[in-house]
Amino acid sequence: MANFIDRRLNSKNKSTVNRQRFLRRYKNQIKKSVSDAINKRGVTDIDSGENIVIPKKDMSEPVFHRGSGGINDRVHPGNDQFITGDRIPKPPNQQGQGGGKGDASDSGEGDDDFTFSISKEEYLNLLFEDLELPNLEKNQLDKLIEYKTVRSGFCAEGVASNIDIVKSLQGSIARRIAMTSSKRKQLKEYQQTLDDLQQDKHDHISEERELKKLIQILEEKIAKVPFIDTFDLRFRNFAKQAVPTSKAVMFCLMDVSGSMDQATKEMAKRFYILLYLFLSRTYKNIDVVYIRHHTQAKEVDEHEFFYSQETGGTIASSALQLMNDIITERYDDNQWNIYGAQASDGDNWADDSPLCKSLLIDKILPKTRYFSYIEITQRAHQTLWQQYQQIMETHPHFAIQHIKEAADIYPVFRKLFKKSTKNAA
């Protein structure tokens, strides 16, 4: 006796809940692993998931088990050389260390770390958990810029291509019924009378003729009601609906003057990666504009941005000026969500710093969603930092942070985009 059941079409993700439970339980370890991993990634490498490593001891399921020591008797197959009474010395390192450390591994598992993969979504969610784009909600309402055409019912006028045939014919039927109903009623009555007369044994020739004439007139009148009338026509109506734009542009500004060494640039790069990943969670299309500057600013590609060496002094305002120009030229702030991230070691020509401040306040900040400045230096802050600090006090979507070493990047990033409690409340 047997019943066959084809289960192949049943859901295959019976374990999803348990997998989520696992991720939930080890969230802290996984998060640590994720933030370690971010430092090893390339800027554009956002499509892959991530391998997570958790030390095995953190996730053991302890049970009472036998330790080492005592007397052990085992039977093995394949004897090829032994006879009863043979003595085989134990390897020296085990000797006299009866209660040795390593967990007796009955299951044949060692103390390796537990490694597994998570998907891209899970990776990004963990990486940016509790983070949000500043002022996103508030701004979204003022900047409903793009329009989308959506259907919005029917209307009586329109172009021929938008005629809705079903609706129009429904109108036509309704109109015809309405316009002919009294006539049909009349017609029915005449018909009835005529039938009665014809049933009658007596002849009513003249009356019959009269009635037939009336019937004919009525039938003609009914036939004259047009099958379709311009009055019946219905057109599909379309309306424009404002939708928040999902395009974003990210400006990466970096000082490449002689004082910026490769290590500092690498740190800046990681910051940009994080920002890019973070934005990619919210926006579908992201343009990245790389602007590097020393005394002059220049728009470059990614490779040149990070790896070409320049020397010379530093005028930060040149980059801000160029950024403003590019926005005006290519990125209408009504259609693009503009983000700026500036990285520098803090060096700037002293007289230039006030100019940077005014450029930001007057031109750039009104157009951008968010502008962040990170200073990567071990030294004391200079004029640029001081000027920017003043901006921060008056502009909530401007933020500055100080990074000393690579390990600071992720915490600093989190600080910048921390979910503000005010919004949550």
Partner 1 sequence: MVTTNKKKPSTVTPQIKPLDDCPDWTFELLEQYQTEIARVAEHYRLDTYTNQIEVITAEQMMDAYAGVGMPIGYNHWTFGKKFIQTEQTYKRGQMGLAYEIVINSSPCISYLMEENTMPMQALVMAHACYGHNSFFKGNYLFKSWTDASSIIDYLLFAKNYIANCENKYGIDDVEATLDACHALMNHGVDRYKRPQKISLDEELKRQKEREEYLQSQVNMLWRTEPNANKNNNEPKYKFPSEPQENILYFIEKNAPLLKPWQREIVRIVRKISQYFYPQKQTQVMNEGWACFWHYTILNHLYDEGLVTDKFMLEFLHNHTNVVAQQEYNSKYYSGINPYALGFNMFIDIRRICEHPTKEDKEFFPEIAGSNWLDTLHFAMENFKDESFISQYLSPKLIRDFKLFHIHDDENNNYVEIGAIHNEQGYKKIRHKLADQYNLSNLEVNIQIIDANIDGDRSLTLRYIPHNGTELGDSKEEVLKHLHYLWQFDVKIVQEKNEGEDVIIAQCSDTLKKPE
Which residues lie near partner 1 (CB under 8 A)?
1-8, 10, 12-15, 17-25, 59-80, 82-90, 95, 98-99, 101, 103-104, 108, 114-117
Distance in Å, CB of 65 to partner 1, minimum: 4
For residue 102, the minimal CB distance to partner 1 (Å) is 9
Choice between 55 and 366, CB closer to partner 1: 55
Minimum CB distance to partner 1, residue 95 (Å) = 5
Q: In the complex, what is the shortest distance from the CB of residue 41 to partner 1, in angstroms, rounded to a whole number?
A: 21
Nearer to partner 1, 82 or 161 (CB): 82
Question: Looking at beta carbons only, is 26 or 154 nearer to partner 1?
Answer: 26
CB of 125 to partner 1, least distance (A): 17
Smallest gap from Cβ 47 to partner 1, in A, equals: 18
Which CB, 53 or 145, lies closer to partner 1?
53
Tokens 């109109």 belong to 175
**How many CA atoms within 13 Å lie on the side-chain side of 321?**
14
Torsion angle, CA of 139/141/142/148, rounded to 10 degrees?
Answer: 120
Name the minimum Å distance from CB 91 to partner 1: 10
Token match 């710093």: residue?
Answer: 353
Phi, psi of 314 (to 5 degrees): -135, 125
The values of phi and psi at residue 88, to 5°, are -120, 120
Across the beta sheet with 247-255, the strand order is 297-300, 285-293, 247-255, 337-344, 370-376, 398-403
Q: How far is the CB of 85 from partner 1 (least distance, A)?
A: 6
Instruction: Give 42 or 96: the residue with its C-beta nearer to partner 1.
Output: 96
| Residue 408 β-bridge partners | none
Give the nearer residue to partner 1 in terms of CB position, either 42 or 99.
99
> Which string of b and e fits 147-181 if b means at least 16 CB within 10 Å?
eeeeeeebeeebeeeeebeebbeebbeebbeeebe
Nearest to 34 by CA among 113, 112, 111, 129: 129
Q: How far apart are CA 294 and CA 273, in angstroms?
A: 22
Of residues 402, 374, 323, 385, the one with CA closest to residue 350 = 385
User: With contact defined as beta carbons under 8 Å apart, do 338 and 367 qualify?
Assistant: yes
Amino acid symbol at 289: V
By C-beta, is 77 or 110 nearer to partner 1? 77
Shortest CA distance to 322 belongs to which of 292, 302, 277, 281? Answer: 292
Cα separation, 182 vs 190, whole angstroms: 13
> Of 111 and 203, which has the nearer Cβ to partner 1?
111
- Closer by beta carbon to partner 1, 59 or else 217: 59
CB of 421 to partner 1, least distance (A): 24
Query: Closer CB to partner 1, residue 6 or residue 220?
Result: 6
- Six-digit token string for 251: 């400006």
| Cα-based distances in Å from 257 to 237, 294, 311, 323, 405 | 59, 5, 5, 18, 19
- Contact present, 324 and 299 (Cβ < 8 Å): no
Q: Could you tell me the two tokens for 236?
A: 């599909």
Q: How far is the CB of 17 from partner 1 (least distance, A)?
A: 5
Find how far residue 210's CA is from the centre of its chain: 80
Q: Return the number of the residue (83 or 425) whose C-beta is nearest partner 1.
A: 83
Please report how close the Cβ of residue 130 comes to partner 1 at its closest, in angstroms.
19
Burial (CB < 10 A; 0-12, 13-18, 19+), residue 357, is: buried
Compute φ and ψ for 411, nearest 5 degrees: -60, -40
